[in-house]
Amino acid sequence: MTDGPLIVQSDKTLLLDVDHVLSTECRRAIAPFAELERSPEHIHTYRLTNLGLWNARAAGHDAELVIDTLIKYSRYAVPHSLLVDVAETMSRYGRLRLEADPVHGLILVTTDTGVLEEVIRAKKIAPLLGVRIDKETIAVHPSQRGQIKQSLLRLGWPAEDFAGYVDGQAHDIALKQDGWKIRQYQEHAAEGFWHGGSGVVVLPCGAGKTIVGAAAMAHAKATTLILVTNTIAARQWREELLKRTTLLDEEIGEYSGAKKEIRPVTIATYQVMTKKKNGVYAHLDLFDTHDWGLIIYDEVHLLPAPIFRFTADIQSRRRLGLTATLVREDGMEGEVFSLIGPKRFDVPWKEIEAQGYIAPAECIEVRVNLTEAERLSYATAEPEERYRFCATTRTKRNVVEELVAHHAGEQVLVIGQYIDQLDDLSETLGVPLIKGDTPQKERERLYAAFRTGEVTCLVVSKVANFSVDLPEATIAIQVSGAFGSRQEEAQRLGRILRPKADGRGAKFYSVVSRDTIDQDFAQNRQRFLAEQGYSYRIIDADDVFQGKF
């Protein structure tokens, strides 16, 4: 028994004691092969997954190194079976290779004919293959490169992809570091991505994911397609790129509902890409008709299904996914990894906070009591109406009013799900509202006014969940949400995480009805942030009215 910081569990989770002197060193050592699962205050949880181990192999780490690291830092004896399993899993990688071939285009080569025989007999694989060239080689339809990689992964025989990436049409892009400097973690992230070829970078909201994208473009020096969630985000990307890179205004195009520009760097919205015209996706060929050297997926956790399918077909292009919260309530995280690429960079939110790149935030859950009458009608409400009912109770309005009054002079966002409730709040508070049918121009005007401080309080619907850059917002009040969505909660907190000029901390209020389903959903919503080390404080609505918080 040593006194290491790591406890290796038999279910392949690794528990890292962050208060241990060796914890930083250990974190660095295990990061290449273990995936960070949770990072609360004291003990961080990593997990050894097949995918993670194979990625480590792809990055040039062998099983011996993994095993040595585990043994070196482990506090207790490492279960032998786990070590054997690690070695076995890692040895599965690389028995199959995808290679480019001058005659057949793409071929699958093996060093172990048994494995090849096994996989070509698999039902899912057979239709993707072409002619058998010799005992160790078989042709693959080049368009099925993504499909076959995905299917092989599921079979447990991951193929090492040597077929490389197309360079795309060259276009000179460089970072323009005048008056600012790329942060170390951003550089690591961009480099991690570049060496891996394709993959996902996970960074907290407000930690500057756009810069990572820009740095990746500077590595690629090629035409780039950027996919973003909405037009606002597209404009923000554009501004950021103009500011941070050598790109000029006319080199950046916007491809959205309003404009259809195709330039060396084109920013398209998911919405336009998935728009159907006469039953077909009219714009999806944007992917194909141009020789992109890099495709960036912003907020990759929102990737819509048609783009999923299409992404499988463009495996020869470099892909970068950016996100803060790779949790999907539909459990499709795995698909993201296999189509875009594995996680290349992930860092606990609290660590970035400690470095001062995101604002420290305090999360407060305000519990509101329903009135007797409300309780009764809640109890008798139809099950599908229940959440809506308790999330929009009138008692919440009073609390919000009080909170806004308390934070007068600070930049406040009130965020909610239900438009009626938001309309009502906007009216009561006398502040503007941004919702789905607010025109684009009006939205931009309001955001701009908010940034300059002309408007200090905004009521927003879920349109502001993502990619809206409001640097000076310090207070967010959430009144209702999309049920138990963990990533929505995190994204909303993300709106106020940009470091403030005066170093002030941010405050995130979540107003919840006590003893209702609202409270249950809130608990689920908070899980992601709790796992990132954000500790919620619970206060009572009465405390708010008495100013005791």
C-alpha count within 13 angstroms, C-beta hemisphere, residue 138: 23
Tell me which of 7, 31, 115, 166 binds another protein, using CB under 8 A: 7
Could you say whether residue 38 binds another protein (CB under 8 A)? yes
Closest of 261, 36, 482, 444 to residue 269, by C-alpha: 261
First to last CA, the chain: 46
Among the listed residues 22, 23, 31, 40, the single contact to another protein using CB under 8 A: 40
Q: Does 530 bind another protein (CB under 8 A)?
A: yes
CA 299 to chain centroid, in Å, comes to 5
Determine the Cα–Cα distance for residues 151 and 129; give it in Å rounded to an integer. 12
Least spacing, CB of residue 367 vs another protein, in Å: 8
**Within positions 459 to 518, which residues make up the interface with another protein, using CB under 8 A?**
515
The least CB distance from residue 294 to another protein, in Å, is 36
Q: Verify binding: residue 77, another protein, rule CB under 8 A.
A: yes
- Binding to another protein by residue 379, rule CB under 8 A? no
Q: Which of 23, 31, 32, 43 binds another protein (CB under 8 A)?
A: 43
Q: Determine which residue in the list 17, 101, 402, 444 makes contact with another protein, applying CB under 8 A.
A: 17
Give the count of beta carbons closer than 10 Å to the beta carbon of residue 259. Answer: 12
118 binds another protein (CB under 8 A): no
Size, binding site for another protein by CB under 8 A: 38
Nearer to another protein, 17 or 191 (CB): 17
Q: Which stretch binds another protein (CB under 8 A): 226-234, 381-389, 459-467, 524-532?
A: 524-532
How many other CB atoms are found less than 10 A from the CB of residue 464?
Answer: 24
Distance of CA 363 to the CA centre of its chain: 21
238 sits in which H/E element = helix 231-244
Instruction: Establish if 76 lies at the interface with another protein (CB under 8 A).
Output: yes
Q: Which stretch binds another protein (CB under 8 A): 1-9, 125-133, 148-156, 463-471?
A: 1-9
- Figure out which of the listed residues 243, 260, 263, 527 binds another protein, where binding follows CB under 8 A: 527
CB of 74 or CB of 231, closer to another protein: 74
CA angle 195, 349, 498 (to 5 degrees): 100
Could you tell me which of 429, 422, 424 has the C-alpha nearest to residue 404? 429
Q: Min. distance of Cβ 531 from another protein in angstroms?
A: 5
CB 80 within 8 A of CB 88: no
Judged by CB under 8 A, the stretch of 132-140, 150-158, 351-359, 536-544 that binds another protein is 536-544
Map 463-480 to HEC letters. HHCCCCCCCCCCEEEECC
Question: Interface with another protein includes 8 (CB under 8 A)?
Answer: yes
Using the minimum distance from each CB to another protein, give the nearer residue, 8 or 232.
Answer: 8
Using CB under 8 A as the binding rule, whether residue 369 contacts another protein is answered as no
Q: Which residues contact 299 (CB under 8 A, 6 or more apart)?
A: 228, 229, 233, 322, 323, 466, 467
- What residues between 193 and 232 interact with another protein by CB under 8 A? none
Q: How many CB atoms are closer than 10 A to CB 260?
A: 14
Residues 6+ away with beta carbon under 8 Å from 37: 13, 45, 46, 47, 531
Question: Are 387 and 484 contacting, i.e. CB atoms less than 8 angstroms apart?
Answer: no
Opening angle at CA 456, ends 455 and 459, nearest 5 = 90
From the CB of 135, what's the least distance to another protein, in Å? 27
* Stretch binding another protein (CB under 8 A), from 70-78, 159-167, 275-283, 333-341: 70-78
Q: Select 253 or 481, whichever has its Cβ closest to another protein.
A: 481
**Does residue number 535 form part of the binding site for another protein (CB under 8 A)?**
yes
Binding residues for another protein restricted to 348-367, rule: CB under 8 A: 365
Residue 442 near residue 449, CB atoms below 8 Å:
no
Applying CB under 8 A, which part among 38-46, 146-154, 233-241, 260-268 lies near another protein?
38-46
Q: Does 13 bind another protein (CB under 8 A)?
A: yes
**Within a 10 A sphere around the Cβ of 88, how many other Cβ atoms?**
11
Minimum separation from the CB atom of position 529 to another protein (A): 9
Q: CA-CA distances (angstroms) from residue 490 to 63, 119, 484?
A: 35, 41, 12
**Least distance between another protein and beta carbon 31 (Å):** 20
Q: Is 88 among the residues that bind another protein (CB under 8 A)?
A: no
Q: Is there a contact between 394 and 428 (Cβ–Cβ < 8 Å)?
A: no
Which of 21, 24, 25, 42 binds another protein (CB under 8 A)? It is 42
Q: Which stretch binds another protein (CB under 8 A): 243-251, 422-430, 434-442, 535-543?
A: 535-543
Segment contacting another protein by CB under 8 A, of 165-173, 309-317, 406-414, 527-535: 527-535
Interaction of residue 22 with another protein, rule CB under 8 A: no
**CA distance linking residue 318 with residue 215, whole number of Å:** 14
Q: Which of 41, 239, 261, 427 binds another protein (CB under 8 A)?
A: 41
Radius of gyration of the chain (CA): 25
- Rounded CA-CA distance 325/312 in Å is 22
Q: Which residues bind another protein (CB under 8 A)?
A: 1, 7-11, 13, 15, 17, 38, 40-43, 45, 71, 74-81, 365, 515, 519, 523, 526-527, 530-531, 533-538
